[in-house]
């Protein structure tokens, strides 16, 4: 399920996403933004996919609200279901709890765009009271900091080119999805076998 094109939210059979933003906050600590969560929730600007943010080196803060519908599709909330958040804003980002006290994960385009919301035996943000302050096990909220630069600055035409102060960064992806770890493991095993068959010498066993 993903944030819909030119919609403030996209409703699927089991989830809802809301995404609001406060723009051009400057370099502030997460706790400063956390004190403005209610403002973000009620007065923050609605966000859609393909919206652009900038300019280079600016900072914007988002409130992402995720709600899982318990009556529509229980698979999201089943204990053994692994759920991921996928984010691509064309630039660096960081995910925090809504009190601004925990940096949960950094995000880098094409390097690390997936954040695990829940995985059996590893973590479950929905049930973790140190992360989820909504008071309900089927909702969770995150603060997301967008830093309008890439890993090595703000090049105009890719790595190694001159930097520009006028660059804009497009929000390409905001999705919540169930991750099939068993299928991924099988796929990865086949990739290893395929590469081994291609690269190992025939006389090796």
Residue 134 has pLDDT above 70, yes or no: yes
* pLDDT 10s digits, 138-157: 999 999 999 999 888 787 77
* pLDDT 10s digits, 167-197: 999 999 999 999 999 999 999 999 999 999 8
The class that CATH gives domain 15-179 is mainly beta
Taking the C-alpha atoms of residue 187 and residue 190, their distance in angstroms, rounded to an integer, is 5
Residue 41 has pLDDT above 70, yes or no: yes
Q: Show the tokens assigned to 6.
A: 């030119």
Annotated domain spans of the chain:
15-179
Return the beta strands (E) in the chain as ranges.
15-22, 45-46, 52-54, 59-68, 82-88, 92-96, 103-107, 114-119, 123-124, 139-147, 168-170, 173-179
Taking a C-beta distance cutoff of 8 angstroms, is the pair 162, 156 a contact? yes
| Residue 11, pLDDT score | 43
pTM metric for this prediction = 0.85
Residue 10 has pLDDT above 60, yes or no: no
CA distances to 52, 64, 82, 115, 199 from 121, rounded to whole Å, are: 38, 25, 10, 16, 36
Residue 100 has pLDDT above 90, yes or no: yes
CA atoms within 13 A on the CB side of 24: 4
Nearest 10 degrees: Cα torsion 113, 7, 30, 98:
-90
């Amino acid at each position: 399920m993903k944030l819909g094109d030119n919609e403030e939210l996209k409703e699927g059979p089991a989830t809802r996403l809301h995404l609001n933003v406060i723009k051009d906050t400057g370099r502030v600590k997460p706790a400063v933004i956390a004190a403005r969560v209610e403002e973000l929730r009620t007065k923050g600007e609605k966000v859609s996919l393909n919206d652009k943010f900038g300019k280079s080196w600016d900072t914007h803060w988002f409130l992402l609200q995720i709600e899982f519908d318990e009556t529509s599709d229980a698979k999201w909330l089943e204990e053994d279901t692994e759920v991921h958040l996928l984010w691509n804003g064309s630039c660096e980002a960081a995910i925090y709890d809504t009190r601004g006290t925990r940096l949960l994960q950094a995000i880098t385009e094409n390097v690390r765009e997936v954040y695990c919301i829940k995985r059996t035996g590893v973590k479950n943000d929905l049930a973790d009271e140190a992360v989820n302050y909504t008071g309900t096990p089927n909702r969770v909220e995150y603060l997301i900091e967008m830093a309008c630069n890439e890993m090595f600055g703000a090049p105009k035409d890719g790595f190694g080119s001159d930097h520009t102060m006028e660059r804009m960064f497009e929000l390409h992806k905001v999705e919540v999805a169930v991750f099939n770890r068993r299928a991924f493991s099988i796929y990865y095993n086949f990739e290893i076998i395929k590469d081994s068959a291609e690269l190992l010498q025939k006389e090796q066993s």
